[in-house]
Structure 1
Amino acid sequence: MKEKLSQERAPIYEALEEFRKMRVVPFDVPGHKRGRGNPELTALLGERCVGMDVNSMKPLDNLCHPISVIRDAEILAAQAFGAAHAFLMVGGTTSAVQAMVLSVAKRGEKIILPRNVHRSVMCAMVLCGAVPVYVNPECNDDLGIPLGMSVAQVEKAIRENPDAKAIFVNNPTYYGICSDLRSIVKLAHKYGMYCLVDEAHGTHFYFGEGLPVSAMAAGADMAAVSMHKSGGSLTQSSILLTGPTMPEGYVRQIINLTQTTSASYLLLSSLDISRRNLALRGKEAFAQVVRMAEYAREEINNIGGYYAYSRELCNGDSVYDFDVTKLSVNTLPVGLAGIEVYDLLRDEYDIQIEFGDLGNILAYISIGDRPRDIERLVSAMAEVRRRFARARVSLMSQEYIEPEVAVSPQDAFYADKVSLKLEEAEGWICSEFVMCYPPGIPILAPGERITRPIIDYILYAKEKGCSMTGPEDANIERLNVIKACEQ
């Protein structure tokens, strides 16, 4: 009889440890053969690490069709997260988000979503041909950030598009904003739609106390969770969670359309070990994260000028809740764009924060941070204000620009196109992505009309030093537009 699984177990890690003791002679891939063929790589990563970079085999299971240790690890993950099923992902949350979209929508079918979604959502629509129906988020004009989705706006979109297949929700946004997820899930199910949730930045919701509701607890059908962000696993490792409405076998087939057949056991074991750590110690760990974030927020606000915002933004609807672990700070009152503070912290003080946009920065605080690191951040921000602050003039504060969708993302992406200078592209329909990364939210997506405010925003973001990605022209001096859709 099979031993009962416990959250104290880490089946993939345990299998790797047993395999390591066997001293198997490798006549399979990877070709570095436990690091012997690449001594420089071994020196960098260590013998133990490269020795565990192995291929799928019977003792270690296979991610495409798990029946033993990977299967056990997924069962434990589902139990820990309160899901019906869990799928270990080695293509990042990007692949998990794409699997969600591809699981519920086909060509021409609609998904209701906020415009401030990650590029992975739009890329999935390019792949499957789904059509976006945007719920334009409310904005906080002082902070220059989009908020969550209003329940009334979601219901309006549902009534206008009763044939939509799903509603897509961010939980939370990059800045920590949470919509009324429970109400949105109830609305989706009332009208026969799925609710898909991007929880790239919400792993801790499942384990901490006093935090916003998680997707599975709210009754969502699918959720993509970045374990590598706040959960402690290796970069690129993620988990896709599903509720009881989603057929496990079909979702696995969708995942296998795009996920590698050569899954990294370094990533898989990191997911396994991190799940165990959070299941056993997550409550205490995230309580400490909250304490550090709240302390940093108070100290930064005491500096003067900066505004580190929190639950005071909550309005019962478009800001239903706030993730207090997110140290989001508006920098405009000190006369500096967020990206400028981001650059100054890195270049002058050797502090790497998560991102800076035109008006805000985000310092990501997680289970690996220490109180003395928080003190260093606070001290550096005080110095930045003292040394570099200036009058608040000529700073663009509004980040959200309402899109005009003219063509489906798939049709636009694959259409015949021409390249135009950015300044000449006004009125044309874009056939590629433009975004600041991070956070990876498109300023333009395929199928959207290029307007003057969008051109001005791109030029301003470039001037301020934002890292712009997406177009074929890496310098963002030209854009590809649909050839057949002149002004």
Structure 2
Amino acid sequence: MPSLLELLRPDRRLALHLPVHGRGAALPPLMQRLLRQSPGSWDLPELPEIGGPLESHGAVATSQARLAEAMGFDHCWFGVNGATGLLQAGLLAMAQPGEAVLLPRNAHRSLIAACELGGVMPVFLPVPFFADRGHAGAMTAEGLRQSLDPWPDPGRPIAGAVLVHPTYHGYSAEIVELIELLHSRGLPVMVDEAHGTHLAFNAEQDSPVSALVAGADLVVHSLHKSAPGLAQTAVLWHRSQRLDHERVQRSLARIQTTSPSSLLLASCETTLDWLLSSRWTSLFEARRHQANQLIHALREQGVLFHPSDDPLRLILATGQIGVSGLDADEFCMRQGVIAELPEPLCLTFCFGFARHRGLAKRLQRIWQALAREGDGVPLPVIPDPPLQSTSIPELTPDEAQRLPHCIRPLAECADQIAAELICPYPPGVPLLVPGERISAERSQWLQSQHQRWPVQVPGMVKVLA
């Protein structure tokens, strides 16, 4: 087995995965220039002139204030442990121990971890499910309205709500209507827009609206999943009308590192400045046009894609030709193409912002080879999970994980309370959360998922003893 250092050497395989800078090819020009300097010259502590995200003085504080003003927000903070840390800080700023927070069923696992850290009860709201793809869609305003009527009663105050827009696969929520509906109920709203950073810096009228302009109180952007920054970089945007600045600052101090990487902080600043430039606008529109052309050309050749609201996410419909996305992923790796997200019924590629010459022909050859491998009979669809109504765990996740537990086969877990998370990663969307009671229908559905995805969905699960 080669060492990690050896695995970081240049690689000729096509990088159709995150980060979207394509192994550095699409990094902002200033960041590329910095990385050509003497290695390690940028590995610096929080020197007075540099500062850090939570400091009031220094270059970082100045950049954060300037960018917040440019985007019409009261505050912003750079993050160097990804969108994960910023989402967790935002949730802990909204909800105090003993309170509850509304989460969509397709919330990222980092938010469940925040509930564990803060003693917060998650109240799960249903989202649409695509049986032919085996994964969740985006929340609709009508779906949310039905979930909130009657008002969920977790036996404790509901302090705020989190939305996901767009999803990992690029499906966009009805974000303006969702935020307005939650605000009308008196709730502050945080939006996980990790996969939609580019929406906030796109002038095209036919693109989905960013949560930045939809009125969200907190918005988290990843700067490497949907913008060309280095991995682990992110930004948190804050409007202080419904959520106090000091609460957010204190939560960030609990979660963020006290030794932030100067290189990653510089990537945050440089990436956001690049996204605000006219050159970026031209580059992004060209890339989006190329993606649409690629999809059109491949469809003309018989390649099957599932539709997405983001042309930079290509969802190959492998299940429709009788091939698992997991098997297709292994085949692509052997062909020198690294995809982003394999699932039982599909394989998602992240087009990214680097150029890939000959990509259309390469994907066409891969599809034709996969079609020869499959028998042409579509794989069975994945039935909707029994999660189509508002769900409140019986215990908070932290309570459930502190109590004595035992390990049982999924088939023997009906009517038991879960003591662990079941969460395929990626995409990091929990299928079972500690504290939830496992119904017979849920147990059967999880067993079917285990048959399709044994590595990601275990056949044994911890439940309360």
- State the TM-score, normalizing by the size of structure 1: 0.80
Q: Deviations over 1:221-274 (max 9, x none)?
A: 001111011211111111111123233332111111011101011111111111
Match of 2:347 among 342, 361, 385: 361
What is the deviation of 1:391?
A: 3.5
**RMSD between superposed Cα atoms in Å:** 2.7
Q: Counterpart of 1:93 in 2: which secondary structure?
A: helix
In structure 2, the residue matched to 1:137 is: 127
In structure 1, the residue matched to 2:233 is: 237
Match of 1:152 among 126, 142, 151: 142
Report the residue type matching 1:295 in the other structure: Q
What is the deviation of 1:446?
A: 0.8
Pairs within 5 Å for 1:194-233? 194-208=188-202, 209=204, 210-233=206-229
Match of 1:352 among 338, 344, 351: 338
Question: Alignment identity in percent?
Answer: 25
Q: Distance in 1 between matches of 2:136 and 2:174?
A: 15
Q: How many residues align structurally?
A: 425
CA contact (8 A) 1:145 1:399 kept: no
- Closer/same/farther in 2, CA of residues 381 and 394 from structure 1, 3 Å limit: closer
In structure 2, the residue matched to 1:23 is: none
In structure 2, the residue matched to 1:434 is: 422
Q: Counterpart of 1:230 in 2: which secondary structure?
A: coil
Q: Distance in 1 between matches of 2:189 and 2:264?
A: 28
Q: Distance in 1 between matches of 2:301 and 2:447?
A: 31
CA contact (8 A) 1:297 1:309 kept: no
What is the deviation of 1:299?
A: 2.9
Report the residue type matching 2:273 in the other structure: R
In structure 1, the residue matched to 2:18 is: none
Match of 2:314 among 291, 302, 327: 327
Q: Counterpart of 2:84 in 1: which secondary structure?
A: helix
In structure 1, the residue matched to 2:266 is: 269
- State the TM-score, normalizing by the size of structure 2: 0.84
Q: Counterpart of 1:121 in 2: which secondary structure?
A: helix
Q: Deviations over 1:318-354 (max 9, x none)?
A: xxxx2333222322211112222222211x2111111
CA contact (8 A) 2:168 2:427 kept: yes
Match of 2:374 among 389, 403, 406: 389
Q: Distance in 1 between matches of 2:330 and 2:445?
A: 19
Match of 1:114 among 104, 111, 116: 104
Q: Deviations over 1:303-327 (max 9, x none)?
A: 33623314xxxxxxxxxxx233322
- Structure showing greater relative contact order (alpha-carbon pairs closer than 8 Å, 6 or more residues apart): 2
In structure 1, the residue matched to 2:75 is: 85
What is the deviation of 1:404?
A: 7.1
Match of 2:117 among 123, 127, 130: 127
Report the residue type matching 1:482 in the other structure: L
1:411 aligns with 2:396: no
Report the residue type matching 1:443 in the other structure: L
Q: Distance in 1 between matches of 2:52 and 2:362?
A: 44
- Closer/same/farther in 2, CA of residues 343 and 427 from structure 1, 3 Å limit: farther
In structure 1, the residue matched to 2:464 is: 482
Larger mean Cα displacement after TM superposition, 439-448 or 71-80? 71-80
- Closer/same/farther in 2, CA of residues 67 and 149 from structure 1, 3 Å limit: same
- Closer/same/farther in 2, CA of residues 81 and 368 from structure 1, 3 Å limit: farther
What is the deviation of 1:55?
A: 1.3
What is the deviation of 1:295?
A: 1.9
CA contact (8 A) 1:339 1:466 kept: no
- Closer/same/farther in 2, CA of residues 85 and 400 from structure 1, 3 Å limit: farther
1:52 aligns with 2:42: yes
Q: Distance in 1 between matches of 2:299 and 2:454?
A: 25
Q: Distance in 1 between matches of 2:246 and 2:84?
A: 20
Runs of 4+ in 1 over 6 A off after TM superposition: none
Could you tell me which runs of 5 or more consecutive residues in structure 2 were left unpaired when the two chains were aligned. Answer: 1-27
Q: Counterpart of 1:142 in 2: which secondary structure?
A: coil
Match of 1:337 among 320, 324, 344: 324
1:73 aligns with 2:58: no
What is the deviation of 1:301?
A: 2.4
CA contact (8 A) 1:63 1:261 kept: no
Pairs within 5 Å for 1:144-183? 144-161=134-151, 163-183=157-177
What is the deviation of 1:441?
A: 0.5
Larger mean Cα displacement after TM superposition, 75-84 or 450-459? 450-459
1:193 aligns with 2:181: no
Match of 2:288 among 279, 287, 290: 290
In structure 1, the residue matched to 2:413 is: 425
Q: Counterpart of 1:232 in 2: which secondary structure?
A: coil
Q: Counterpart of 1:87 in 2: which secondary structure?
A: strand
Q: Distance in 2 between matches of 1:340 and 1:453?
A: 28
Q: Distance in 2 between matches of 1:153 and 1:107?
A: 28
Q: Distance in 2 between matches of 1:369 and 1:98?
A: 34
What is the deviation of 1:101?
A: 0.8
- Closer/same/farther in 2, CA of residues 190 and 404 from structure 1, 3 Å limit: closer
Pairs within 5 Å for 1:28-67? 48-67=38-57
Q: Distance in 2 between matches of 1:286 and 1:234?
A: 18
CA contact (8 A) 2:303 2:364 kept: no
In structure 1, the residue matched to 2:10 is: none
